[in-house]
Amino acid sequence: MEPFKRDFLTDFDLTDTELSERWDDVVATLHAGCPVARSEVGEGYWVVHNYRDVIQCTKDWRTFSSADGFMVNRPPGMPYFPPAEVDPPLQRALRAVLEPFLKPRAAAAFEPQVRAHANTLIDAFIERGEVELVSEFANPLPQYVFSTAVAGMDREELPYLLNAFSFVGPESERAQNFLNGMTRIERYMRQRQGEASRGDIVDALLAFEHEGFSWEDKVGTLCQLTIGGIGTTGYAFSGGLYHLATHPADRQRLVNDPSLIPQALDEFLRLYLGVVNMARRVKQEVEVGGVKMREGDRVLLSYGAACRDPTLFEEPNKVDIDRRATAHLAFGAGVHRCIGESLARVVLRFGYEEFLKRIPEFGVAADFSPEYETGSTRHMVRLPLHFTAAPPHARQPGGVR
């Protein structure tokens, strides 16, 4: 392996371009090199990357608090997003009012909307024989499903919110983008306050009261939910479809037998997880992987590296759609485990089904090599695909259009 310019074991940096460009190598180096890595950048932090150590931290929220936010060296002015950035008991109380709208049975009911919207997006590019998948399918599909089907927003809001919350572009501009998105979400919440109740997740959030939970926190919560699926679910599309574009045998298997999609999805989620690094603050002295951490220390939990822990996953960098990879940490673990997991699975499963049904043959240009942005989240910047569409009769997904 070519040496890195930076020593990621003792001088880890979330903003280093080598992390984006050589993620597989960095992760392998962490696993081979030390139990816990260190960064002296900014406030300084530990990087916990072994699967068992990450589990230890996520299960112990009293010692590893989320209340200082999920980003290390947070840009000034960046708003806070509950429930991810608060601790129990407030976090548990807030989840209890949101969960009924996102639990498996509620999420399953969105299948028709997912299929229908996937087809609307595909209709817009099918005649072209090519698509920029990230902006035309991977990000808009999950965003549409949460924003309109779950939260009842107008379609007209979608392009603005997608842009504000997309995690694309320089970190320095992100705080302002997020604030812009937040202003728009607040406007929607004020509008809903003045309307009759629809009995949906927004009304439940508007009615939720708890000590220490302000109006800004309510707005932050709806932002967090809106952001939840954009880059995260989007990367599981772009990563998985890039794999299928470059591995025709795997693609043909999923086209021939869509019942294989849910298992393949877990493998795609293990490798193409959108949420790769989440921060915690140490509240009392503790030992992780043999390293002593003190009260006040900052810790980065690398879900992305834990998903490639070689003690758990054989040949961890290999995409193997036959692997039963259900133990991955793409959705985190412990009290903050993703509240949108069931919805994400519904969007991914039926989004893949519709895509593969209508576009069974696709590829990338011979000179294409994906670019990534990596920090707290990781995603593919763009994925231009060329394809051959299936004949029109192939598009009858159980009558849903």
Q: Which is nearer to ligand HEM, 8 or 70 (CB)?
A: 70
Q: Does 220 bind ligand HEM (CB under 6 A)?
A: no
**Cα–Cα distance measured from residue 238 to residue 258, given in angstroms and rounded to the nearest whole number:** 18
- For ligand HEM, which is the closer residue by CB, 233 or 387? 233
- Residue 227 CB, shortest distance to ligand HEM, in Å, is 8
- Residue 45, interface with ligand HEM (CB under 6 A)? no
Q: Is 131 in the site for ligand HEM (CB under 6 A)?
A: no
Tracing tokens 């597989």 back to the chain, one arrives at 24
Of positions 224, 277, 302, 376, contacts ligand HEM by CB under 6 A: 224
Confirm or reject binding of residue 146 to ligand HEM (CB under 6 A).
yes
The rounded distance, in Å, linking the Cα atoms of 101 and 150 is: 8
Residues 247-266 that bind ligand HEM (CB under 6 A): none
- Residue from 233, 238, 277, 374 binding ligand HEM (CB under 6 A): 233
Tracing tokens 């024989």 back to the chain, one arrives at: 129
Query: Does the footprint of ligand HEM cover residue 55 (CB under 6 A)?
Result: no
Q: 98 vs 122, which CB is nearer to ligand HEM?
A: 98
Please give the torsion angle defined by the CA atoms of residues 162, 165, 167 and 171, in that order, rounded to the nearest 10 degrees.
130
Stretch that binds ligand HEM, among 46-54, 111-119, 164-172, 222-230 (CB under 6 A): 222-230
Nearest approach, Cβ of residue 304 and ligand HEM (Å) = 10
Structure tokens at 368: 């294409």
Question: Judged by CB, which is closer to ligand HEM: 181, or 229?
Answer: 229
Give the bridge partners for 373, in sequence order: 379
Q: How far apart are CA 227 and CA 218, in angstroms?
A: 14
Q: Out of 84, 138, 222, 383, which residue is the one contacting ligand HEM (CB under 6 A)?
A: 84
| Interface stretch with ligand HEM, choices 3-11, 22-30, 208-216, 274-282 (CB under 6 A) | 274-282
- For ligand HEM, the closer CB: 188 or 387: 188
Examine residue 316 and tell whether it contacts ligand HEM (CB under 6 A): no
Report the C-alpha gap between 41 and 254 in whole angstroms.
Answer: 44
* 282 or 389: CB nearest ligand HEM: 282
Q: Does 344 bind ligand HEM (CB under 6 A)?
A: yes
Of these, 255, 312, 327, 338, which contacts ligand HEM (CB under 6 A)? 338
- Residues in contact with ligand HEM by CB under 6 A are 66, 70, 83-84, 91, 95, 102, 142, 146, 224-225, 228-229, 232-233, 236, 273-275, 278, 303, 330-332, 336, 338-340, 343-344
